Amino acid sequence: MQKNKKALVLLNMGGARNKDELKMFLTNMFNDENILTINIDFIRSIIANFIVKKRLDSAWENYEKIGNASPINPLTEKLVDKCNEKIEEFKTYQAMRYTPPFANDVLEQIKKDGINEILLFPLYAQFSTTTTKSSVQDFIGNIPYEGFTVKYIEEFYKNDKFNDCIVNEVIRNIDDKKEYNLIFSAHGLPQKIVKKGDPYEEQMNEHVEILSKKLDEKGIKFKSINLAYQSKVGPLKWLEPSLEDMLKNFKDENVIIYPISFIVDNSETDFELDIEYREIAHKLGISEYKVCRCVNDSDEFIEAIKDIIKN
């Protein structure tokens, strides 16, 4: 029994530890009605299986370039350990949407620990139906019995301590003697999802405005500050501008990338941003290309979590 403690559950998408888990990740993701927005489960399952078969081998080749596993798992474990060390009123757990540990297993552990108050903390600063809603819906849907009180953090991109984490990471990566173009790179979404009312794009624009103002207040000047979207797949129209198109503006210039939609480093940061887009930047003639790390398990982010959950 964890006397007088509440459960703080960190929610995220998950990431593969091997090729079998990559298949699991892709299968679960494309069967998610918030991702593949097809109302009929049977049809969505057929399409999902087709996509997985088509993409698995090429996706695994990308994983091989980052050590055969996503960094999200060890980094999240470190984050959980630090939260348990420094946030006394909560016992912290993690639950992933598409790979272990899954919500049902985490709920079983919370029950064994004798805790009945749960605060869900989706590790997505901006709300989207494809991330926050999907993860919260999945967790609550796995509660098999009454007796739990569940609340969740909807978004936290306006939190000042969290934004200090981002600004400080950007500052750590710049050379005072050079001019940089700062690009906040966000995971893309099909435009049809935004048109249905998803607030992600609006919140992303507002978040960039907040961070731009904070950088200006600190006297940190950039040649330009931009927002672009990465990770487009398939034939649908996605949010624009794409990161590749944005990079075309900066031949012979210096670029620094901050992965604004991610809290913990993963395949999208370590492969896409640090390898795939770096190669594109090199081909485009960009002089210097830097990628910032996510907030991960930093002490600064632990303090931000404390601030976010205190209300």
Which residue ranges are tagged as binding site for Fe(2+)? Answer: 187, 268
**Cis-peptide into 101, omega within 30 deg:** yes
Q: Where are the alpha helices (DSSP H) in 142-293?
A: 160-172, 191-195, 200-217, 243-247, 267, 277-283
Question: Are 242 and 188 spatial neighbours (Cβ–Cβ below 8 Å)?
Answer: yes
Dist CA 263 CA 273 (whole Å): 14
Binding residues: 187, 268
Residue closest to 187 by CA, chosen among 176, 201, 206: 201
Query: Token pair for residue 123?
Result: 């590790």
The answer to whether 259 and 268 have CB atoms below 8 angstroms apart is yes
d(CA 306, CA 139): 22
